[in-house]
């Protein structure tokens, strides 16, 4: 099991043990955070699952489609990612994500 910490827009924090194999978006939604709309269902076509990777955490490289979608966000930072594009596994044990403000 790997630990994922989720910080919501309003300060709620949950640390979740997950066996991996799902996207960070799926884990966030399964944990009960309704702040991530994920309108496209994880198909990298809407950017409504925007999160910030907390400093010092590793994540897979950003893809071209994801990069283009994030460019349209008013809240993009150098730590922005779409949570649907991060497949969670033991290599990300200790990952912390903060749900970005809604565009």
* % of the chain exceeding 70 in pLDDT: 100
Q: What rounded mean pLDDT belongs to the chain?
A: 94
Give the mean model confidence (pLDDT) for residues 37-56: 93
pLDDT tens digits, one per residue of 1-38: 999 999 999 999 999 999 999 999 999 999 999 999 99
Q: What does the pLDDT read at residue 3?
A: 96
Residues 6+ apart with CB under 8 A from 27: 4, 6, 16, 18, 88
The Cα–Cα gap between 88 and 22 comes to: 6
Of the CA atoms within 13 Å of residue 10, those in its CB half-sphere come to 4
* Residue 81 and residue 65 in contact, taking contact as beta carbons nearer than 8 Å: no
Q: Is domain 2-99 classified as CATH 3.10.20.30?
A: yes
pLDDT of residue 58: 75
Residues 6+ apart with CB under 8 A from 61: none
Query: From the CA atom positions of the chain, what is the Rg in Å?
Result: 12
């Amino acid at each position: 099991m790997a630990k994922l910490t989720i910080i919501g827009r309003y300060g709620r924090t949950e640390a979740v043990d997950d066996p991996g194999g799902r996207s960070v978006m799926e884990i966030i939604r399964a944990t009960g955070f309704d702040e991530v709309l994920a309108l496209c269902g994880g198909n990298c076509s809407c950017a409504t699952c925007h999160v910030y990777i907390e400093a010092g955490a590793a994540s897979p490289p950003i893809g071209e489609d994801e990069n283009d979608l994030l460019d349209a966000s008013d809240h993009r930072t150098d730590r922005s990612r779409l949570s649907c594009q991060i497949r969670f596994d033991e290599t990300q044990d200790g990952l912390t994500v903060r749900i970005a403000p809604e565009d």
